[in-house]
């Protein structure tokens, strides 16, 4: 029977691995060797990675690739992407090439407002609480001056504080709903520090407020935390061209392509089963850039999917139309991103990614990320409504199949050439590899 371990976090890395080997990897020295195989040879760089999180044993690598030829607001950019899925970077690059000769992508930031909340219980009359809030609000803003000083010098800070009555959902439950501008930082630590100070001062001032009864003075703070739902931190990206200019495939007229494409988008707007997969493809592009630039892709995912459900049903993030002979395809997504702080100043590849993007501001990065999502979606719908998704995807996936079966470089070269003229399936790839080896 395996016994619990006490003080695991205090062990050094070698001791952690030794414990793992003796407890869960008995007689599996090859597994222990894999952990060491992925250590960085530069000890300083390895220590940096070790200190990003807790109880580290090794590094988990993702491919770091590049999608070139993105014309965004007249600037030609190459977009770094960190992702393990086959065909994502190829699809994004293909979409970038297609739209570069048709005016490129246009993107604009609509707003950059971020949200945090102090959640609390109040046991008394709402009218008294509203009066107390109006009296106390200036004191809350004054209390965070030491925290907001540097942010305000950059043009950011606390934008507003509102009192929300949520007693219709939970008895006695209220919020301080706070709005922030954090400029080029994602701002999580800044927002949370302000919120905790708001909560502290709000609770203290309630104790001193003469109009409150003893019960009303006893405001109960539940928690103070930023929200990853940022529906007003919004960016829009779009492409457009004349319908006849969509004639990439000589066998498909531009008008026919556009109508079928728009119906595919319309289906994702009304059918949640399709919308989830549709939006997942968008997130292939968005997450890959968010991860490459050291931002929090889990926060971005949560906020975007909540936004996709804002009207009561999960729906497409992209939309398409034809007006006066012009085909238009666009996306609006909430993106809380940063280009300073966090991993952006620590992780060498993150710093490189931002250099490749010409050191963008947070607003510029929002535009780039939205464009990556739109490009990915265009490529996916293009494939789905013409050749089918599997033709291109399985050819890109071929190398994974061959690696899984330990194909040599010569075998890979022969089979890659063979499958340029044949349909790729897993079973067909394995069978052709078997035939090649037997011959």
Kindly list the domain boundaries of the chain, sorted by start residue. 8-50, 64-110+235-387, 114-226, 392-438
Contact 333, 234 (CB under 8 A): yes
Please tell me the least confidently modeled range out of 45-59, 213-227, 289-303, 379-393.
379-393
pLDDT 10s digits, 74-97: 999 999 999 999 899 999 999 999
What is the pLDDT at residue 253?
Answer: 87
Closest to 97 (Cα-Cα) out of 433, 382, 385, 389: 382
Q: Is the model more confident about 411 or about 159? A: 159
CB atoms within 10 A of CB 96: 26
239-295 pLDDT per residue, tens: 999 999 997 666 678 899 999 999 999 999 999 999 999 999 999 999 999 999 999
pLDDT value at 377 more than 70: yes
Distance CA 78, CA 342 (A): 23
- What is the rounded distance in angstroms from the CA atom of residue 14 to the CA atom of residue 23? 14
- Residue 168 is predicted with a pLDDT of 97
Arithmetic mean of pLDDT over the chain: 94
Q: How far apart are CA 391 and CA 396, in angstroms?
A: 9
CATH class of the structural domain 64-110+235-387: alpha beta
Distance of alpha carbon 82 from alpha carbon 66, whole angstroms: 9
Radius of gyration (C-alpha) of the chain in whole angstroms: 27
Which pLDDT score is estimated for 391?
56
Q: What is the pLDDT of residue 396?
A: 62
Residue 384: other Cβ atoms inside 10 A: 17
Distance CA 389, CA 29 (A): 41
Among residues 217, 393, 395, 397, the one annotated as catalytic is 393
Q: Say yes or no to pLDDT of 133 above 90.
A: yes
Cα–Cα distance, 253 to 271 (Å, whole number): 27
Q: How confident is the model at residue 432 (pLDDT cuts 50, 70, 90)?
A: confident
- pLDDT tens-digit readout, 217-254: 999 999 999 999 999 999 999 999 999 999 766 667 88
- Closest Cα partner for 382 from 43, 95, 77? 95
Give 387's pLDDT tier (boundaries 50, 70, 90).
confident
- Count the alpha carbons within 13 Å of 64 in the hemisphere toward its beta carbon: 14
More confident residue, 151 or 425: 151
| pLDDT cut 70: percent of the chain above it | 97
By CB atoms closer than 10 A (0-12, 13-18, 19+), residue 179 is: middle
Spatial separation of the C-alpha atoms in residues 238 and 57, rounded to whole Å: 43
Q: Write down the catalytic residue from 85, 152, 256, 269.
A: 85
Please say if the pLDDT value at position 166 is more than 90: yes
pLDDT digits (tens, 9 = 90+) for 137-146: 999 999 999 9
| Residue 296 annotated among the catalytic residues of the structure | yes
Catalytic residue, from 137, 280, 319, 328: name it: 280
Q: Indicate if 393 belongs to the active site.
A: yes
CATH level 3 topology of 114-226: Alpha-Beta Plaits (3.30.70)
pLDDT at 406: 83
Backbone angles phi, psi at 158, to 5 degrees: -85, 125
- pTM of the predicted model, to two decimals? 0.88
Phi/psi region, residue 7 (left: phi>0; alpha: psi -120 to 50; beta: rest), is: left
Interval 184-226: pLDDT, tens: 999 999 999 999 999 999 999 999 999 999 999 999 999 999 9
More confident residue, 278 or 410: 278
The catalytically annotated residue of 196, 205, 238, 296 is 296
Phi-psi region of 72 (alpha: psi -120 to 50; beta: other; left: phi over 0): beta
CA distance 315 to 334: 15
* Cβ contacts of 20 within 8 Å, gap of 6 or more: 32, 57
């Amino acid at each position: 029977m395996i016994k619990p371990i006490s003080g695991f976090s205090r062990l050094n890395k070698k001791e952690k691995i030794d414990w793992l080997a003796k407890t869960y990897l008995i007689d599996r020295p090859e597994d222990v060797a894999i952990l060491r195989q992925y250590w960085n040879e530069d000890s300083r760089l390895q220590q940096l990675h070790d200190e990003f999180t807790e109880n580290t044993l090794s590094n988990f690598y993702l491919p770091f690739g590049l999608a070139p030829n993105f014309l965004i607001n007249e600037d030609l950019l190459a977009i770094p992407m960190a992702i393990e899925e086959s065909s994502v970077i190829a699809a994004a690059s293909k979409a970038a090439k297609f739209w570069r000769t048709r005016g490129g992508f246009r993107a604009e930031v609509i707003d950059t407002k971020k949200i945090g909340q102090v959640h609390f219980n109040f046991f008394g009359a709402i009218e008294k609480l509203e009066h107390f809030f109006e009296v106390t609000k200036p004191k809350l803003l004054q209390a965070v001056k030491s925290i907001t000083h540097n942010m305000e010098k950059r043009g950011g800070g606390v934008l507003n504080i509102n009192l929300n009555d949520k007693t219709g959902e939970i008895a006695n439950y209220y919020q301080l709903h706070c709005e922030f501008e954090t400029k080029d930082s994602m701002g999580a630590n800044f927002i949370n520090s302000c919120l905790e100070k708001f909560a502290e001062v709000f609770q203290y001032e309630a104790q001193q407020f003469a109009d409150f009864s003893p019960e009303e003075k006893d405001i109960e703070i539940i928690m103070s935390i930023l929200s990853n739902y940022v529906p007003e931190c919004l960016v829009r990206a779009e492409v457009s061209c004349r319908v006849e200019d969509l004639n990439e495939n000589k066998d498909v007229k531009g008008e026919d392509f556009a109508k079928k494409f728009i119906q595919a988008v319309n289906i994702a707007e009304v059918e949640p089963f399709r919308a989830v997969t549709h939006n997942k493809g968008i997130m292939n592009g968005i997450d890959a850039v968010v991860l490459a630039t050291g931002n929090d892709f889990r926060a971005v995912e949560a906020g975007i999917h909540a936004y996709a459900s804002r009207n009561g049903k999960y729906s497409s993030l992209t939309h398409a139309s034809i007006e006066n002979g012009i085909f238009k395809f666009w996306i609006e997504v909430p993106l809380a991103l940063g280009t300073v702080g966090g991993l952006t100043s620590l992780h060498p590849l993150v710093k490189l990614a931002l250099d490749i993007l010409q050191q963008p501001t947070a607003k510029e990065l929002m535009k780039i990320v939205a464009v990556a999502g739109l490009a990915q979606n265009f490529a996916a719908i293009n494939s789905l409504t013409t050749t089918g998704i599997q033709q291109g995807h399985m050819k890109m996936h071929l190398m994974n199949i061959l690696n899984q079966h330990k194909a040599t470089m010569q075998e890979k070269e022969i089979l890659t050439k063979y499958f340029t003229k044949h349909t790729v399936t897993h079973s067909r790839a394995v069978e052709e590899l078997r035939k090649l080896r037997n011959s």
